[in-house]
């Protein structure tokens, strides 16, 4: 297993790579969001980014823009969201990224009242984005969302996605799977789609909000989830998504998860 960390896009990207590299992570998960990590800013610093990654012997994967609206009822907003996503895919290709996480769009506004239409827009957008990634030789990994997103939160919802798009893989976000309800849905995702997992996000919470807490600070039974994962063929990349001012918690979380993985 390779362990990575994600930049916080409100901070300068080069500083973020320095900090993550100093902590000894195997790779950077580059989230391509403004203000400091938009595709345009990333490309303007391409050489410096690559030099830092080489210095710290880190690989790189990517995370497509988070706050875009590919399920929106406005045609203009969906079109702009696709264009922003395409810009990020092209920037990722320039950096040699071969794996990208796709964060499905939230359903908001009046879309909540015509949920089937909004979801169909979201599915169509996934197909459009996947074609672009395929043309550039990039693997797309779609992330399970939390219930407030109203789209692709439950395991059964992914059946249509995987049947429609055989090439797409799953980013299993263990934290998202713990929000809402009285159980962590990560085990169900693993049982149903273990062979489709292409990437993992790890963070803790108390089952109500997407807190991105350090491992052990919330209520998730990671040993149980890790045991389930070890029964699949998956052994690729795992991003520790712990967002704390004190990055010691990021390092400690990686060490805890690594120990669980190696001892289970």
> How confident is the model over 21-55, as pLDDT tens digits?
999 999 999 999 999 999 999 999 999 999 999 99
3-state secondary structure at position 15: helix
Rounded distance between C-alpha atoms, residue 264 and residue 261, angstroms? 6
Q: Give the number of domains in the chain.
A: 1
Q: How far is CA 102 from CA 35, 85, 224, in A?
A: 19, 9, 26
Range of the domain at 119: 2-263
pTM (predicted TM-score): 0.96
Q: What is the pLDDT of residue 264?
A: 80
| Cis-peptide, bond into residue 35, ω within 30° of zero | yes
100: domain CATH number is: 3.20.20.150
Q: Taking a C-beta distance cutoff of 8 angstroms, is the pair 82, 70 a contact?
A: yes
In the chain, what percentage of residues exceed pLDDT 70? 100
Instruction: Give rounded-to-5 percent helix, strand, coil for the chain.
Output: 45, 15, 40
Q: What is the pLDDT of residue 178?
A: 96
Q: How far is CA 169 from CA 19, 100, 195, 198, in A?
A: 29, 10, 9, 5
What is the separation of C-alpha 111 from the centre of its chain, rounded to a whole number of angstroms? 24
């Amino acid at each position: 297993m390779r362990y990575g960390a994600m930049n916080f896009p409100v901070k300068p990207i080069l500083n973020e790579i320095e900090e993550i590299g100093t902590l000894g992570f195997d790779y950077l998960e580059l989230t391509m969001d403004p203000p400091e990590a938009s595709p345009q800013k990333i490309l303007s610093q391409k050489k410096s980014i690559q030099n830092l990654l080489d210095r710290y012997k880190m690989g790189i994967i990517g995370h497509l823009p988070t706050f875009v609206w590919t399920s929106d009822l406005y045609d203009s907003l969906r079109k702009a969201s696709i264009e922003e996503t395409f810009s990020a895919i092209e920037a990722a290709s320039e950096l040699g990224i071969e794996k990208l996480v796709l964060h499905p769009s939230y359903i908001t506004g009046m879309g909540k009242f015509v949920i089937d239409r909004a979801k169909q827009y979201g599915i169509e957008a996934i197909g459009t984005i996947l074609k672009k990634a395929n043309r550039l030789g990039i693997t797309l990994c779609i992330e399970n969302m939390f219930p407030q997103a109203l789209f692709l939160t439950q395991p059964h919802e992914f059946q249509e996605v995987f049947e429609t798009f055989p090439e797409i893989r799953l980013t299993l976000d263990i934290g998202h799977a713990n929000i809402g309800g009285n159980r962590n849905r990560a085990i169900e995702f693993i049982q149903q789609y273990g062979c489709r997992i292409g990437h993992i996000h790890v963070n803790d919470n108390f089952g109500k909000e997407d807190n991105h807490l350090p491992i052990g600070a919330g209520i998730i039974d990671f040993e149980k989830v890790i045991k389930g994962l070890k029964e699949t063929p998956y052994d690729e990349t795992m991003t520790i998504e712990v967002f704390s001012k004190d990055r010691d918690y990021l390092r400690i979380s990686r060490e805890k998860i690594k120990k669980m993985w190696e001892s289970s």
